[in-house]
Amino acid sequence: MFKKFGNYCKVCYDELAHKTTWPTRGKLTHNAMVVLSASLIIALVVFAMDSVFSFVMSVVYPN
């Protein structure tokens, strides 16, 4: 059992160290900015929809 686990760890290390292609710093920064921008846009759309629905509900059901 321990031999299997040790072999598994060696295979995982070999995969990560020698076979995986890691992104460059520039590519990683660009992708992070794309995700940040998309998240901000989605948050603004949700905020706008919430504001509109809140206004409509306050007109339909006044206090």
Structure-token pair, residue 37: 């921008």
The parent domain of residue 63 ranges over: 23-63
Amino acid at 30: H
Q: How many domains does the chain have?
A: 1
pLDDT at 63 over 80: no
In a domain, 39, yes or no: yes
CB 31 within 8 A of CB 23: yes
pLDDT at 3 over 80: yes
Chain centre distance of CA 28: 13
In a domain, 47, yes or no: yes
Radius of gyration of the chain (CA): 25
Mean pLDDT of the chain: 95
Q: What confidence tier does 60 reach under pLDDT thresholds 50, 70, 90?
A: very high
CA distance 51 to 61: 15
Considering the entire predicted model, what is its pTM?
0.66
Q: What is the pLDDT of residue 57?
A: 97
In a domain, 53, yes or no: yes
CA distance 45 to 38: 11
**Across 27-46, average pLDDT:** 98
